Structure 1
Amino acid sequence: MSPVFDCTTEAGRADAIPKAAAGVREGRLVVLPTDTLYGIGADAFSVDAVRALLSAKGRGTDMPPPVLVPDARTLDGLATDVPDYARALVAAFWPGPLTVVLRAQPSLAWDLGDTRGTVALRMPDDPVALELLREVGPMAVSSANRTGHPASRTVVESASQLGAAVEFYLDGGPVTGGLASTIVDCTRDEPVVLRVGALSEAEVMDVVERSRADALELTSPAPDEPEPGAGTEEPGAPEASTASEQRGTTDDD
């Protein structure tokens, strides 16, 4: 029987994280809580561990796992050609339920499966997951369930499906989210929502549009300085209209 560690307290995490981290470094699998669902994780840079993860779930290399990271600054170490709108999404929703698909750094010594040169990245908003990730670095993490079966919201549900295939179970209590992350393909000029999860497509596109509007405003040339005396009203001229009258009114969300 694989050990289950109570990570609902600081003392429990202090005992569990070093043991789980050592196991991950040795190529073992771990079930961990995230802000969305429970996940099954492995060292992203261990080919054998990633294969064991896929085998535990009952899937092949045609369904590569996402990679969880401990910090947004990890983005540029794992991905290349990151568009500005992807950085805006990360700034808005990390840590949180957003997975971004980007071009993977070609120099990385890993094999996540048939990724076609991409990597799906997410920073979870969960203290147990983040503490483990800070110890071991990027981890390949997929939902802690057998393919085709319900996703796990508790460590017991995870263990009932994955059993002894997992070396360590980290119990962070029932997850509060319950919805999978929203996945956005950021490998092209325009973002494409591949899966709607905890974030709606409207929430995603609102951030993209606002980031582009802000960028356009920053790059717009400043108006020419008026000549001395220019703009002075002639005696008897009508009062200038207010700014709201000139541009009309808008309702911003």
Structure 2
Amino acid sequence: MATTTGHLSQAPSRTRHHRMVKNELTETPHPDWAQAMVDSVRPDWSAVLKAAIFTETAHGPFPDEAWRRILLDFFCIVEAFPKYMGVYLAKTTFGQTSGDHLARDWLIGNIRTEALHAQWYADWAAAHGIGFEELVSHRPCPEVGALYDYLWSVCYRGTLAEAFGAVNYAIEGTTGEWTRLVLPAFRERYGDDEQAVRWLVEHAEYDDAHPREAFELIKLTVRDEGGRAKVESAVRRSLELFSRGFAASYENRAMVVDTRQ
């Protein structure tokens, strides 16, 4: 049904609208405080990428048992990811404050994008010999549990900018990089099984879109100098816990897991 001006009276589809929102989040030059934050957290970012599991996977021999443990331990984070985003979606107010309306629409679209990621991760685990019941009932090691709990905490208690920093910038940003490091080895490990590597492929081929857009949203929603310091602290803590989680899970690779406990 058209209006008298010839335009459609109904709103554009969510898919089209989400593309429009993403176009508004093209990368802009960082103000001094934002560049200083990127530089300050670089050692913590690099520590995630230098985890032993990624180095060993890239250079061999392929660490099967270590990845089995990591896949089990980190499922809780993957499964919770759209839920984290749903928590800070509730902090938005449809444009009452600067950047708020854009943040709201970006989150709505990306929660939908995340909808299938848990299933793709389960497919990856299945290719590695992990049954569905074992995966969903697994209790992660304390270090990964600490990351899981921290992300819930910052989403509930932190500002919108802190949540974007801890979840979308820190976790998605480093994941986009480490998946590119290990993807060739997994392609060799699984052969032509594209379903087995889909989660890895999707994250490796983001071209840093989500974390880049999240950083733009941080710049739009952070309020003052105190807020900037809180965002940097949230990013740093998220990276520290991510790194510790990988290290602990890797060290526990030989443990036999009893999922009935």
Same fold? TM cut 0.5: no
Q: Normalized against structure 1, the TM-score is what?
A: 0.23
Q: Which has the higher contact order (CA 8 A, sep 6+)?
A: 2
Higher helix share: 2
Q: Normalized against structure 2, the TM-score is what?
A: 0.23
**Bigger Rg, structure 1 or 2:** 1
